[in-house]
Amino acid sequence: MENLSERDARHIWHPLTQHQTHPAAWPIQKAEGVYLYDEAGRKYIDAISSWYTAVYGHCHPEITGPVARQMQELDQVVFAGFTHRPAVELAERLLGLLPGNQEKVFFSDNGSTSVEVAIKMALQYHFNQGKRRQVLLALEEGFHGDTFGAMSVSGLSVYNGPFQDLSLEVIRLPAPTGKNNEAALEMARKMVAEHAVAALIYEPLVQGAAGMRTLDPDGLAAILEVVREAGGLLIADEVMTGFGKTGTHFASEQLPLKPDLICLSKALTAGLVPMGLTSCTREVFEAFLGQDTGRGFFHGHTYTANPLACRAALAALDLLQSPAIQEGIRHISGQHEAFARELDGHPMVEEVRHCGVIFALDLKVQTDRYSNFRDTLYRFFMDRGVYLRPLGNTVYLLPPYITAPEELETLYAAIRELLDTLEAGTYAG
């Protein structure tokens, strides 16, 4: 009789997977708190919050309870022409937490669509004013999603390669790291002088898929200023960084210039159900008003503002603002800082960095992003009860905010063991 992995392999095409060489998918039966459980009953700490979504832990009763009750009242309704209380309350609550210049929200389905919406809004914003601005700026190695617009502004060739000639017009700027700020700023000045720039999209403070690369706040702020002065809009992609991960509710709070549009998803609904959201300023919104119907923003999704997703997001915001969760964020941030100091200078560590609950280190190992080495690292950690998804030679943590001190120590111990094994030359991967 076939097991679940074998049945999966017979019928399912997984994301980000080369099925010719990739091992069978790992069957997960249950999730609770910070743990994932497989069919054999083994448990694994979800050290990346399931792609940065389940930041309050899995199956949290303060989220599943309200959503279960919402299911009995209103499950789904068209959002073109209708509205409902969970959507209105979520918009009100969220706008109270976002940077103060944000005044409108547009619902969609996921992180990629929230970016797609922002890009289309930015391009049409200028079009509606009779301006031909079609060039988009983005940072090198940024990642913003898989749909065509979001993919176009992403800078990772493994995602974009086959579609490179079909993309929007995008110019990439060096990501300011503190060591190259002046060169990055000069490039930005040159591009806004030579091109009709519609917008710059950026991940504030941390580039997730680039290996949790941290950006220099001053360097990024200077680039934002140049783009805004040239008339371009600022799109902050907070799909990964939003909802507490960088130490503040939103990473944009730590930059002096506030964005014109903000993209949100992932932890928005605490990993329970999919939803994306794009917020914008009143100025952006009003550029779409007029007697001409075609001046409006004709973009929509079947599950726009799904009531269950809105209710999950409202419950998640309650948790985010609770003293217990805020203390969890502070504790993890402090422990990451101490662990970074411990590993700094380790012979097998190229670089170590952290920002809020995000921790990352680059191993002194030469490897490609999706090489066999990455797969063996994955198995190394799973064998020790830790679920991680290394990116090339980068090992990173983004644990749920409820991770207990002893569970955090388990994560650190697994990383220490890996480094010691690599240093001793006994790593079997």
Same domain assignment for residues 39 and 123: no
| Single residue among 301, 320, 339 that ends a domain in this structure | 320
Same domain assignment for residues 274 and 385: no
| Single residue among 320, 340, 373 that ends a domain in this structure | 320
Token output for 337? 């800082």
User: What's the whole-model pTM score?
Assistant: 0.96
Same domain assignment for residues 160 and 283: yes
Beta bridge partners of 353: 360
pLDDT value of position 155: 80
Same domain assignment for residues 330 and 393: yes
Reported as half-sphere exposure (CB side, CA atoms, 13 A), residue 125 has a value of: 24
Same domain assignment for residues 279 and 403: no
Structural domain that includes position 190: 63-320
In contact, 232 and 260? CB cutoff 8 Å: no
Burial call 177-199: b when 16+ CB within 10 Å, e when fewer: eeeebeebbebbbebbeebebbb
Same domain assignment for residues 298 and 339: no
Closest CA to 362 of 158, 213, 217, 241: 213
Residue 429, domain member (yes or no):
no
Same domain assignment for residues 77 and 181: yes
Same domain assignment for residues 368 and 404: yes
Same domain assignment for residues 241 and 365: no
- Phi and psi of 419, rounded to 5°? -65, -40
Same domain assignment for residues 293 and 248: yes
What is the CATH classification number for the domain harbouring 382? 3.90.1150.10
Other beta carbons within 10 angstroms of residue 20's beta carbon come to 5
Residue 251, domain member (yes or no):
yes
Residue 154, domain member (yes or no):
yes
In contact, 38 and 44? CB cutoff 8 Å: yes
Q: Provide the sign of the torsion angle of the four alpha carbons 283, 289, 294, 296, taken in this order.
A: positive
Same domain assignment for residues 220 and 239: yes
Residue 118, domain member (yes or no):
yes
Residue entry with tokens 């399912």: 12
**Distance, CA of 338 to CA of 36 (rounded, Å):** 27
Same domain assignment for residues 302 and 326: no
For the chain of 429 residues, list the mean pLDDT of each consecutive stretch of 10. 87 89 89 97 97 98 98 98 98 97 98 98 97 96 93 79 84 97 98 98 96 97 98 98 98 98 98 97 98 95 97 98 98 98 96 98 83 86 96 95 98 97 76
Domain count, the chain: 2
